[in-house]
Chains A and B, each alone.
Chain A
Amino acid sequence: AQSVSQHNHHVILSEAASLELGCNYSYGGTVNLFWYVQYPGQHLQLLLKYFSGDPLVKGIKGFEAEFIKSKFSFNLRKPSVQWSDTAEYFCAVKPYGGYQKVTFGIGTKLQVIP
């Protein structure tokens, strides 16, 4: 079965700092990869996803993630964070195939200080 690890559980940054949240997965085959965001008091929303093609994926609100197959990684990045990016971020992986389940990481809580 697949698993996902997110290395940073709580990250505190000042506004305008650059962000990189680590995500590694374990699964030997083809995968679909996702980053979800949960803003305070709101539900999970899709930030970006990778299915195939260009391993550098751009999502909403200036976020991007790079799939590095050799490292089993899908790190999330943003060059300059804003206070409104304060949220919890979840990495998720799904083995390729219609009936496969999505596995979520434990989440990283990002706090951006004005």
Chain B
Amino acid sequence: GAVVSQHPSRVICKSGTSVKIECRSLDFQATTMFWYRQFPKQSLMLMATSNEGSKATYEQGVEKDKFLINHASLTLSTLTVTSAHPEDSSFYICSARTDTQYFGPGTRLTVL
């Protein structure tokens, strides 16, 4: 099946710094990738839809200036959490879609 990778799997940073998370589709091309946050005991929350070669589409309530998304190629999308704060600590998951969404392993971000 389709494989999606994320890097890093875990990151700890200081408040005020920026963190970049990479999402790659390893064996297929994805014109569309998605970024989610997963909160404990809650469902996946879609943050934004990343479209190759164009601007990302953000869900209501998600700050586009804080969560910068770049979809530079058909196999790579990046999420940069700018000026991270402790409330940004979460589990971030990307997915890439053919006719089905395939998920990356997630990135655990902890902001101190």
Contacts and interface: CB of A to CB of B under 8 A. Distances in A.
A96 B51 CA distance: 19
A36 interface: yes
A83 interface: no
B43 A49 contact: no
| B interface, over-half SS | strand
Interface range for A: 10 to 19
A43 B43 contact: no
A36 B103 contact: yes
Nearest to A34: B100
B99 interface: yes
Contacts of B49: 101
B99 A44 contact: no
A99 B99 CA distance: 10
Given A44-B93, A46-B1, A102 B101 contact: yes
B105 A43 contact: yes
B43 A90 contact: yes
Contact of B93 (A43, A92, A99): A43
B110 to A, nearest CB: 17
A42 interface: yes
Contacts of A99: 32
9 contacts: A43-B93, A44-B93, A46-B1, A46-B100, A90-B43, A99-B32, A101-B49, A102-B46, A106-B42
Given A106-B43, A107-B43, 7 more contacts: A34-B101, A46-B100, A90-B43, A90-B44, A92-B101, A101-B46, A102-B101
Interface of A: 34, 36, 42-46, 49, 51, 90, 92, 99, 101-102, 104-107
